[in-house]
Amino acid sequence: MNSLRLRALAPLLAFGFAGLAWGSVGCFGLVADAAGTPDGAVLPETGDDVDAAPDTAIDGAPDTAIDGAIDTAFDAPAPPPAQKLLFEAGYQNYAWGFTYDGIYVNAAGEVWSYSHPQTATPAPAPTDVPWPHAGMTETEITTKYASNAKLLTTLSKDQVLAMYKLVSLAETGMLIRQNSCADAGSRLYVAWRYDATTSTYSPVQLGMTGDTTARNTVPAAAQLVSWLSSVGSLSTDFCAPPAAVACVGSGCKPATCPNTWQTAACDGTCVAPTQCESVAGCAACGSSTACLVDAAGAAHCSQAPACSSGVLSCACGGDAICAGGAAWCRGTSAAGFRCERP
């Protein structure tokens, strides 16, 4: 047995093999870390990391199995006992009157729909159904759920909690925003984080479709959007953004674009920089879009939200930059923005 294996085995021995008891949790690949806490893996593990070996990380970082291989397990906190709301997909439209409807999933596994149609008496007002934002009380969120409430289905708690573990990945994502439609409204997909100290909820943005679309850069977010659309019978092609295209790379064709707001794609066409998978640098984003820099250093252009000062910052636009909210936002409009765990 090599020294790496011995070092990784030490925490296991200290805890009396408590972690191994979790090795047969089931098809989601839930394994245990050295502290005996089950990891939140809901994605297939790779290589020989499916051997029920205990992991050493308990902080949300990639776990290292005792055989020295990296596995895809991650430690994801379960929702606190007092948390009742887990997911929501809400739709609002201000065109020709105000409309709001959507679905939500609670901790019991129930999937409910609700609606506030324009024809309602009295007609709904935006103040009656506030858009998800940080620090909301349960009453602020659930008041809108009472209108035309219908129970759509009930899922197993195991399934709901397994999907909720993906939020620990989704909240690390950046939001690539672009204009896609007009007068179609917006559908926002969120997962709720609960603060037991203040008894308030804050959203993790999984994605948005409609007039302005927002793509969370973490694949787990797209998986959650697809799942919510499925359980809530929501259309998955509602004003979907145009497909992202390659704009940097050794095989790109040179092109001169007729408009200053365009950039050249690798296929020789001219596109909005927000449509690029990534760009050569923040300069490509111009003054009308925000530059977001991912963990690998790649730059992405995103439709910038309006700030009263005229200059985008984490303080006024962080919620539109980072899936986890403004608290995750770092950087400036000149140097580019990043999303890092608070």
Partnered with residue 103 across adjacent β-strands are 89, 113
Contact 142, 85 (CB under 8 A): yes
Our measurement of the distance from residue 95's CA atom to the centroid of its chain's CA atoms, rounded to an integer in Å, reads 27
Pairing of strands 336-339, 110-116: unpaired
**Pairwise CA distance, residues 29 & 273, whole Å:** 39
Q: What's the predicted TM-score (pTM) here?
A: 0.76
- Is the C-alpha dihedral spanning 50, 53, 54, 55 positive or negative? negative
Which residue type is seen at 220? A
User: Considering only CA atoms, which of 72, 70, 28 is closest in space to residue 163?
Assistant: 28
> Model confidence at 24, in pLDDT bands (50, 70, 90)?
very low
CA dihedral 251, 252, 254, 258 (to 10 degrees): 170
Average pLDDT over every residue of 221-236? 92
Question: Which region among 4-13, 51-60, 75-84, 253-262 has the lowest average model confidence (pLDDT)?
Answer: 4-13
Q: How far apart are CA 326 and CA 133, in angstroms?
A: 10
Q: Residue 225 has what pLDDT?
A: 95
- Please compute the mean of the pLDDT values over residues 192-218 and round it to a whole number: 94
Residue 218 is predicted with a pLDDT of: 93
pLDDT at 74: 57
pLDDT top residue among 121 and 144: 144
pLDDT at 56: 42
Which pLDDT score, from 0 to 100, does residue 116 have? Answer: 87
